[in-house]
Amino acid sequence: MQSGHLFSSLSVLCWALCAGPAHAQSVRSEPAPAVSPSAPAASLAEHKKPVESTVQLQLLEGVRLFRAERYEDALRVFQQVNTDEKSTDIGFYLGMVLHKLGRHSAALIAFRSTQRSGLREPVADYYAAVSCYRLGMNTRARRGFASLAAAASGPAPGVPPLGPRLQQGARNFLSALPPSAVETASDGGSSSIHLQYERARQAAERLLASDDAEGALEWLDEAGQILEESPDPRERAEHSDELRALLNRLRSKPGSHVRTADVQALEQRLAH
Amino acid sequence: MSYVWQTRLGLTFALLALGLRGSAAADEPSGPLAAMREAAEALAELDPATPAVGDALRLHKSTPKAAHGEGGSAAASADALRAALRAAAREEVARDLAATNPPGRGAGIAAARGKEGSSAGTDKEAREQARGAAVQAQSAKAVGVHRNVELQRGLGNGNSNGNGRSALNAGTGPSK
């Protein structure tokens, strides 16, 4: 009797242990549900499941290719997912691959869409900061790495913590970045902020002229963040007007894919 | 079944289940997002001076990209290294082949036989000559590819400042 009880206990333990991963992977192994005509709402929800599982499979395939450093192939897979099914966090995957392919401007655009979708991923923030660094958007890069390094001690609730490897990487990049415009200004180089701002503004204008509105927005963001560091309120106000004019141009660009929310966020920042 | 056997069997099942669960967890970090996070963390650039793979891939076409504000690459890439290794291996094979079959051998034999006024073995000599010429050509090609890769690498190192250098940020980007 006692032995039988022990055996059944062990069986329950086995079942419990096996059930965990099986349930976790159910999204990939679920068969197509039968559609019942009597419950259309429920069937619609049920019908979505195989689509979701297909997307999950495709994403996993893309991740596998990414891990194998086959970035072009991974990009094709993620782009396919983006075309077929608008996955909300596809920007996260696309951004990583585009970054690895050295297409930093496109990577930043993809990461921006990730943020828009509400996904908080410190790894994506790290990659975005590196992309900014590679493009020469030093203010954004510095702020990105500094915020990651600060968050490492106490990440926000619900946000996965940044691993020790990337924490070290953030510190490496921070030490490699040139001193900020404010630091240079305090050393007597008052024109540093102006020069950096002008460079970012000109880059934005150039991209705007070549119909790359999204790329222009990235540089306008950099210009805005440089202005935030300016200690001179007169200069800040003057250049903010310039940036607002450029944002208006960007918004009125025909066929522009720039989201109004992104432009508004930048305008709000300039208003402060 | 005795109590001892039942216990052993039960324990075996439990261990098996634990093992399966552990390996499953190791293979799949619970979905594409977590898997991507893990892979991205493993492949992230930690050193500002280390070339980004994609940047280096674009070494040969950095000028048009620079016009769009994309960062030019800094140094040698995994691909360039792979190409260099391939070229070196090819060169070595060509050298070995050349050592075993000297290129001038066919011509020398042909000349010697020509002197003797013998027309026998002309086909064989021609084959040997062709072979020698092919080896020479392959060797020259391999050396050429190798030098080209070296040249590219040199160019990358020359620009190596650990940061994107482009038409937009030339001269103002972080210097290394």
pLDDT in tens, B66-121: 434 444 444 445 555 666 666 666 666 666 666 665 544 444 444 444 444 444 44
Q: What is the pLDDT of residue B116?
A: 43
Chain B hits for A163, Cβ within 8 Å: 41
Interface check for B21 against chain A (CB to CB < 8 A): the answer is: yes
- pLDDT averaged over chain B? 57
Given a cut of 70, is residue A198 above it in pLDDT? Answer: yes
Mean pLDDT over B44-65 rounds to: 65
First vs last C-alpha separation in chain B: 75
pLDDT at B124: 58
pLDDT at A9 over 50: yes
From A104-108, A260-264, B79-83, the region with the lowest mean pLDDT: B79-83
CA angle A239, A241, A246 (to 5 degrees): 95
**d(C-alpha A142, C-alpha A180), whole Å:** 8
Other beta carbons within 10 Å of B138: 16
Of A150, A142, A170, A146, which is closest to residue A226 (Cα–Cα)?
A: A142
Tell me which amino acid residue A247 is: L
Quote the longest CA-to-CA distance of chain A: 88
Q: Please give the share of chain B, as a percent, with pLDDT higher than 90.
A: 10
Q: Above 60 in pLDDT, residue B168?
A: no
Distance from C-alpha of A209 to C-alpha of A206, rounded to nearest angstrom: 5
Residue B21 pLDDT level (bands cut at 50, 70, 90):
low
Burial B11-49 (b: 16+ CB within 10 A, else e): eebbeebeeebeebeeebeebbbebbbebbbebbbbebe
pLDDT value at residue B173: 40
DSSP states of A123-169 as a string? HHHHHHHHHHHHHT-HHHHHHHHHHHHHHTTSPPTTSPPPPHHHHHH
Q: Is the pLDDT of residue B44 over 50?
A: yes
- Better-predicted residue by pLDDT, B97 or B174: B97
Residue A125 has a pLDDT of 94
- Residue A262 near residue A116, CB atoms below 8 Å: yes
Indicate yes or no: CB of B10 within 8 angstroms of CB of A133: no
Taking contacts as CB-CB distances below 8 angstroms, the residues of chain A near B37 are: 121, 123, 160
Q: Look over chain A and give the mean of its residue pLDDT values, rounded to a whole number.
A: 80
User: How far is residue A87 from each of residues A70, A103, A106, measured CA to CA in Å?
Assistant: 22, 21, 18
Tokens at A47, concatenated: 């019908």
**The residue to which tokens 């930690």 are assigned:** B46
Q: Region A139-168: what's the mean pLDDT?
A: 84
CA distance A87 to A70: 22
Task: Please give the pLDDT value at position B50.
Answer: 75
Residue A64 has pLDDT above 80, yes or no: yes
CB contact under 8 A, A160 and B33: no
Res. A159: pLDDT tops 70: yes
Q: Residues A168-197: what's their mean pLDDT?
A: 79
Which residues, numbered 36 to 65 in chain B, qualify as contacts with chain A under a Cβ-Cβ cut-off of 8 Å? 36-37, 39-49, 52-58, 65
Give the best-scoring range by mean pLDDT among A39-43, A124-128, A263-267. A124-128
Q: Which of B11, B45, B79, B166 to mutate to test the interface with A (most CBs of A within 10 A)?
A: B45
| Predicted pLDDT of residue B84 | 61
**0.80 exceeded by pTM:** no
Residue A50 has pLDDT above 80, yes or no: no
Q: Residue B76 has what DSSP assignment?
A: -
- Predicted local confidence at residue B45, as pLDDT: 93
Q: What is the pLDDT of residue B51?
A: 64
CA gap A108, A105 in Å, rounded: 5
Average pLDDT over residues B125-148: 56
With contact defined as beta carbons under 8 Å apart, do A196 and A139 qualify?
A: yes
Smallest CA–CA separation between B55 and chain A, in Å? 5
Of B36, B54, B166, the CB nearest to A63: B36
**Nearest CA to CA, how far is B166 from chain A (Å)?**
8
Of A14-18, A81-85, A261-265, the one with minimum mean pLDDT is A14-18
